[in-house]
Structure 1
Amino acid sequence: MRISVIGCGYLGATHAACMAELGFEVVGVEIDPVKRAGLAAGKVPFFEPGLQDLLAEHVASGRLRFTDSAQEAAEFADVHFVCVGTPQVAEGLGADVSQVDGAIELLAPHLTRPAVVVGKSTVPVGTAPRLAARLAELAPAGADAELVWNPEFLREGFAVADTLRPDRLVLGGATPHAEELLREVYAAALADGTPLLLTDYATAELVKSAANAFLATKISFINAIAEVCEVVGADVVDLADALGHDDRIGRKFLNAGIGFGGGCLPKDIRAFVHRAGELGVEDAVSFLRQVDDINQRRREHVVAIATAMLDGSVSGKRVGVWGAAFKPDSDDVRDSPALWIAGQLHLRGADVRVYDPEAGKTAALMFPTLTYAANPIDAATDADLLLHLTEWKEFRALDPVAVGDVVTRKQVLDGRNLLDFDAWRAAGWTVRGLGRR
């Protein structure tokens, strides 16, 4: 069996490299010439642990190659994965599915023999049946060009493992023939015990949106509770530990902090609410608006605390910021709360110096007026306040005594509640967390 991957951004490049790792011959279709040239040279244009080596290995072996020709992919492959982006529309909350539509329009006219097209992009419910009809209309193979919806559940920082060893596989709208082919594609994962769920299109489309909505709700819940803890003098970390012992709740995603960001959760919950409104059931998910509002408020809350720690004004004060990516093990700064906070302090007159182990370049493209440091000590030098905003292990390993030697004032705001408060306080620091005593 041969595989094509349409769209070689974060999802597509990861999927293509992992399919090659599983032993398949793979061609990636990427119309951006710069991105395609980099991938063809074995270079990943973003940071994802383990992916660079995997992609370079299989480009070098010839098992993975890249093209801009949908016709070449159609002639080459038996299974075609659609992995293009569905960003938030520029003027609204809904998802922009133009790239998904474009992928079908590009590929379908060249499908002259039986083929299975597999949608992995996150789309509004109701998209797959429309695409299936369009596929059958445009493909010379007609009904033998089948569409299956197979949502992705990748976590940035763990994308390779999540592709090779997924925690579940969902196939929406698969015929027996399509199911057989995809069981072969995912044979290694199925042999390891990965559950396979066969559903209709609508259920498969909703799984990713519902999962992200639930995770976002859990994060915003504990962040709302953190605000209550600050008022009454409780400790949100102890509280979350106590909640986590209830197996109906669990401890994961109960870490209070500056909120969620990235290219998935924020735009996916907004698109979910928007689509529910189009379907006439917006009231059923209206709580997600509050989830989004709580998340945005966390960023403003951190700016307010930082301002208070700087005697009521940040103007002219130096602030060291550890972290720019929305999460560790990633260089993704899309909708990053860390970068938003740094940017707001800068706009209010602070001299902000940012360090991130991987996201410095992507952050500089997003917010070029900030100053970017070469290392965490450089970021902290002469700082009146230090902010810990992305939970890289590197930051937690730093010696608070050594950091204290370079700052102007020993005060730190831990936006992730992960520093060793006792050790930092013992080194003479004033330490503030979120929802902490």
Structure 2
Amino acid sequence: MRVGVVGLGSVGSAVFKVMSQYHETVGYDVDGRGAIEDLLNTEANLVCVPTNAADTGELDMSAVDAVCNEFSRSRYQGIIVLKSTLHPGTMERLECHYTNLKLVYMPEFLREKDAEEWFQSPDRLVVSGATQYVSTALELFSWVPENILRLRMSHIEAEIAKLAHNAYIATKVTFTCEIERICEAENADPLRVMEVVWSDRRVRNPAHLTPGLGGFGGKCVPKDTRSLRQLDEKENDQSLLAFVLANGTKERVEERGHSNG
């Protein structure tokens, strides 16, 4: 299959490298890499453009809109698979506005520092869209073993699920930092305490539950947590996400450490 990758940042570069192993793949980025005309002569395009959050916490969909507008204007006939993190409601809006496009959402869950490896070996494939478009999109990932879950759901469920995934990581990190703070006050070893937590059969994973690593940071976890928090119409200051954002970021944990020192 001839495939295009739109956006060659950390995610797009990983997608391009892996897709090139299985498909004839072309790439394009606004920084000058590739030619946008090459994207039009493909059966599918994977869109990996950035959607960095504004100060309000809402994700910026302008790059996604620009890509869809270009494909619509060019009367592109292939499948458009959006991999970028989307503000909930975006897919419905795009489908209403660009009725001539074949849109699918497949949010990406890779880890930035091991992006290529994680894209190559996903824990699951999450997908939403019309049945005929989804089938074609899943064909792009035919190398993924059959025992890996293919989770098909509505657009809004997939959009929220992507944000919830990173917000949960932020929550685990924040919980660990809180336990570490309590242990330090009581002269206890937080590593011994948290080992009890992650060795339970219902947990079984020390990821994000290991003391001494600081608060959560990076490009995606903070912005996705803020975006999910912003989506909450209640804007309750007592909500779990409000606590996580106020206490679990790298900056906040470092600040607290300096004040205690």
The bucket for the TM-score relative to the shorter chain is: over 0.9
Higher relative contact order (CA 8 A, sep 6+): 2
Matched ranges for 1:44-63 at <5 A: none
Report the counterpart of residue 290 of structure 1 in structure 2.
243
Q: Does the 8 A contact of 2:81 with 2:105 survive in 1?
A: yes
Report the counterpart of residue 72 of structure 2 in structure 1.
108
Report the counterpart of residue 128 of structure 1 in structure 2.
91
Could you tell me which of 134, 147, 167 is aligned with 1:179?
A: 134
**1:183 Cα deviation (Å)?**
2.6
Matched position secondary structure for 2:151:
strand
| TM-score, structure 2 normalization | 0.92
Q: Give the unaligned 5+ runs of structure 1.
A: 37-65, 137-141, 309-437
Provide the C-alpha distance between the structure 2 equivalents of 1:150 and 1:230, rounded to a whole number of angstroms.
Answer: 42
Report the counterpart of residue 95 of structure 1 in structure 2.
59
**1:284 Cα deviation (Å)?**
10
Matched position secondary structure for 1:187:
coil
Write the deviation string for residues 54-105 of structure 1: whole angstroms up to 9, x where unpaired.
Answer: xxxxxxxxxxxx22x2x4311x11111111011121x322211111111111
Q: Does the 8 A contact of 2:11 with 2:112 survive in 1?
A: no
Name the amino acid aligned to 1:188. W
**1:260 Cα deviation (Å)?**
1.3
- Is 1:249 the counterpart of 2:214? The answer is no
Q: Does the 8 A contact of 2:10 with 2:112 survive in 1?
A: no
Matched position secondary structure for 2:148:
coil
Provide the C-alpha distance between the structure 2 equivalents of 1:202 and 1:154, rounded to a whole number of angstroms.
Answer: 20
Name the amino acid aligned to 1:14. A
Q: Does the 8 A contact of 1:273 with 1:285 survive in 2?
A: no
**1:271 Cα deviation (Å)?**
1.0
Provide the C-alpha distance between the structure 1 equivalents of 2:150 and 2:238, rounded to a whole number of angstroms.
Answer: 28
Provide the C-alpha distance between the structure 1 equivalents of 2:76 and 2:247, rounded to a whole number of angstroms.
Answer: 51
Report the counterpart of residue 221 of structure 2 in structure 1.
265
Matched ranges for 1:178-217 at <5 A: 178-191=133-146, 193-217=147-171
Name the amino acid aligned to 1:20. S
Provide the C-alpha distance between the structure 2 equivalents of 1:247 and 1:211, rounded to a whole number of angstroms.
Answer: 21
Write the deviation string for residues 256-307 of structure 1: whole angstroms up to 9, x where unpaired.
Answer: 232111100111101111122xxx24449931121111124211023335xx
Name the amino acid aligned to 1:190. P
Provide the C-alpha distance between the structure 1 equivalents of 2:166 and 2:122, rounded to a whole number of angstroms.
Answer: 16
Matched ranges for 1:37-436 at <5 A: 66-67=34-35, 69=36, 71-74=37-40, 76-89=41-54, 91-113=55-77, 115-136=78-99, 142=100, 145-175=101-131, 177-191=132-146, 193-250=147-204, 251-257=206-212, 258-276=214-232, 280-283=233-236, 286-296=239-249, 297-304=252-259, 308=261
| TM-score, structure 1 normalization | 0.56
Provide the C-alpha distance between the structure 2 equivalents of 1:166 and 1:284, rounded to a whole number of angstroms.
Answer: 35
Q: Does the 8 A contact of 2:81 with 2:137 survive in 1?
A: no
Report the counterpart of residue 27 of structure 2 in structure 1.
28
Provide the C-alpha distance between the structure 2 equivalents of 1:92 and 1:203, rounded to a whole number of angstroms.
Answer: 22
Matched position secondary structure for 1:169:
strand
Provide the C-alpha distance between the structure 1 equivalents of 2:7 and 2:256, rounded to a whole number of angstroms.
Answer: 38
Q: Give the unaligned 5+ runs of structure 2.
A: none
Provide the C-alpha distance between the structure 2 equivalents of 1:298 and 1:196, rounded to a whole number of angstroms.
Answer: 37
Write the deviation string for residues 284-339 of structure 1: whole angstroms up to 9, x where unpaired.
Answer: 9931121111124211023335xx4xxxxxxxxxxxxxxxxxxxxxxxxxxxxxxx
Provide the C-alpha distance between the structure 1 equivalents of 2:237 and 2:181, rounded to a whole number of angstroms.
Answer: 26
